[in-house]
């Protein structure tokens, strides 16, 4: 079944200069392999088309069921140089939560925030 990342994980972020650091942490260990398989560095960068202009590096932190993305060229030249207030790390982290994943129906009980409609 197709679900948004927000139902499988939460995010933390930070920024330094023109680089954003975004961690995606699975809500349940059973969800992590699906996130790890589908949310690659390439797909992460494509999700931010036109915003992230530099390299994206993905680090896997399997013991915490987390992925950490370092996105260079993500903040319009840097927080203090940009006139675009929405490009800061927290805004970028919120954006990745709209990434769509395929999750097996059998894991539906592990998802958070799905309406029963």
Q: State the pTM of this model.
A: 0.86
Q: What is the rounded distance in angstroms from the CA atom of residue 99 to the CA atom of residue 101?
A: 7
Q: What are 25's strand-pairing partners?
A: 10, 66
Q: What is the pLDDT of residues 60-76, one digit of tens each?
A: 999 999 999 999 887 66
Q: Establish how many alpha carbons lie within 13 A of residue 62's alpha carbon, considering only the half-sphere containing its beta carbon.
A: 2
Mean pLDDT (whole number) for 78-96: 62
**Inside any domain, residue 23:** yes
CATH number for the domain that contains residue 40:
3.30.70
**Inside any domain, residue 114:** no
Where is average pLDDT lowest: 31-35, 54-58, 59-63, 82-86? 82-86
- Supply the range of the domain harboring residue 84: 2-99
Which structure tokens are listed for 113? 């925030």
Alpha-carbon Rg for the chain, nearest whole angstrom, is: 14
């Amino acid at each position: 079944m197709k679900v948004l990342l927000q139902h499988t994980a939460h995010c933390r972020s930070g920024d330094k200069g023109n680089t954003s650091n975004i961690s995606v942490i699975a809500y349940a260990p059973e969800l992590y392999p699906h996130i790890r398989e589908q949310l690659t560095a390439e797909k992460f960068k494509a999700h931010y088309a036109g915003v992230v202009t530099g390299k994206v590096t993905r680090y896997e932190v399997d013991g915490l069921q987390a992925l950490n993305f370092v996105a260079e060229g993500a903040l319009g030249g840097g927080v203090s140089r940009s006139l675009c207030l929405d490009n800061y790390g927290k805004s970028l982290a919120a954006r990745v939560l709209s990434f769509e994943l395929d999750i097996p129906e059998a894991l539906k009980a592990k998802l958070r925030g799905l309406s029963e409609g």
